[in-house]
């Protein structure tokens, strides 16, 4: 794609400032959500395609900065009545993986929704979000480069996107909206719920490559975005 991946753009401050103004960031978020809507509801009749690795590296940007979801190497197709219970060996990228995937290996459309929520927070700010949201300091979430550029960011729009992202990263999959509701929320046709809890954090036991005895080392992974 002409502009590479979203990760490529974020890694280059000059390109990020030039290519990702506020309206473009919103368009990128909207197009990712529309892509997931297609995968979860429209791509195959009576089935759901779960991507399982939504992250900045797998979001490609065309010449007009429209986002395209890429890398379907670990995607799975589920029947609608099995989406929440289907299990498979855990995989994906730390920082974007829903807690139930690491803890039980369970994937569903809601695990993609969790990854989308993390991605939205990253697109908006590149910082931890819950503490600022809880203190109603939502404007502090906005990328400083957007403020420096004098972008006109409407409070109502910012609140809607951040609140929707925090709903996506709820620890309990049942508390996350499905992709249909997310698209409706982004188009301002659906009322937003209030997040029930901070973004998920969880303890997991992960094997170490240097330990050949089969023992595991306790490691904590948590939903946070590096600045």
Residues noted as catalytic: 53
Cα-to-chain-centroid distance, residue 217: 27
The alpha helices in the chain, defined as continuous H runs, are 6-10, 13-19, 22-37, 99-104, 109-124, 130-134, 144-148, 155-168, 179-186
Alpha-carbon gap, residue 80 to 63, rounded angstroms: 35
Choose among 166, 188, 187: nearest CA to 177: 166
Alpha-carbon gap, residue 81 to 86, rounded angstroms: 9
Residue pair 95/36 in contact by the 8 Å Cβ criterion:
no
């Amino acid at each position: 794609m002409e502009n590479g991946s979203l990760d490529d753009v974020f890694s280059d401050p000059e390109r990020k400032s030039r290519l990702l103004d506020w309206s473009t960031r919103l368009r990128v978020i909207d197009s990712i959500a529309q892509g997931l809507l297609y995968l979860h509801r429209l791509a195959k009749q009576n089935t759901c395609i779960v991507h399982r690795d939504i992250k900045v590296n797998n979001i490609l940007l065309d010449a007009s900065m429209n986002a395209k979801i890429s890398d379907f190497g670990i995607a799975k197709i589920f029947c609608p009545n099995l989406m929440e219970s289907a299990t498979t060996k855990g995989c994906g990228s730390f920082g974007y993986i829903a807690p139930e995937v690491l803890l039980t290996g369970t994937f569903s459309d809601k695990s993609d929704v969790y990854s989308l929520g993390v991605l939205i927070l990253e697109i908006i700010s590149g910082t931890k979000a819950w503490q600022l949201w809880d203190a109603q300091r939502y404007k502090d979430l906005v990328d400083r480069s957007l403020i420096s550029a004098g972008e006109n960011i409407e409070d109502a729009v910012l609140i809607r996107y951040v609140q929707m992202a925090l709903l996506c990263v709820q620890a309990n999959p049942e508390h996350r909206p499905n992709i249909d509701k997310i698209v409706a929320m982004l188009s301002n046709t659906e009322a937003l719920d209030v997040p029930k809890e901070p973004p998920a954090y969880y303890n997991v036991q992960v094997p170490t490559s240097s330990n050949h005895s089969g023992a595991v080392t306790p490691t904590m992974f948590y939903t946070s975005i590096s600045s």
